[in-house]
Amino acid sequence: MADLHIDDFYRDVATTFKWLYASFPRKIVLYVEDICGPDEPDEFGLHSPRFEAGFSAAVWLAEQGYLSFDAPIRQEALDQAVLTRRGFLLLSSRSALNLNGVDPEEFPPSIAGTSLSNIAQLRQALKNDSSIDLQRVVDYLLSSPPPDAGGSPSPTPPSQT
């Protein structure tokens, strides 16, 4: 049986990173509907489990040190959300993955470096709309050691199984 909620988690993490990187260093109100789509609360004011999972994914990223925020706005948004140093350095660093198919030798270093960054790989996985690519990229990002942990900031990419 497929764990579809994990596929949703990977997509939510990728989308959250994409939104926060696009606005960095500006703090934003990160709306859950921007992460996982709109939702209409039921007659009791409760959101769907899918919407709650999108909210929880963003909160989990904060608990793990990738983003910070001032306060939740009910379960609909995170107020004053921004990437932390750890999140920014992770997304802007060069990736060992290459979903874009870029040959670094064909382009100037600045273009090749940008095309091979973690955020570029994440954007490509979202553009491909491939749950396998999203899993590879998000697993790779979440398995990267924090910038202050020493050693290389980029681990070996997860295997394709």
Q: Is 151 inside a domain boundary?
A: no
User: Do 17 and 38 belong together in one domain?
Assistant: yes
User: Do 96 and 68 belong together in one domain?
Assistant: no
Q: Is 129 inside a domain boundary?
A: yes
Q: What is the pTM of this model?
A: 0.82
How far apart are alpha carbons 59 and 26 in whole angstroms? 18
Q: Is 16 inside a domain boundary?
A: yes
- How many residues does the structure list for the chain? 161
User: Do 72 and 97 belong together in one domain?
Assistant: no
The number of folded domains in the chain is 2
pLDDT tens-digit map of 76-130: 999 999 999 999 999 998 877 766 666 666 666 666 656 688 999 999 999 999 8
How far apart are alpha carbons 32 and 16 in whole angstroms? 9
Domain housing 15 = 4-84
The pLDDT score that the predictor gives to residue 116 is 80
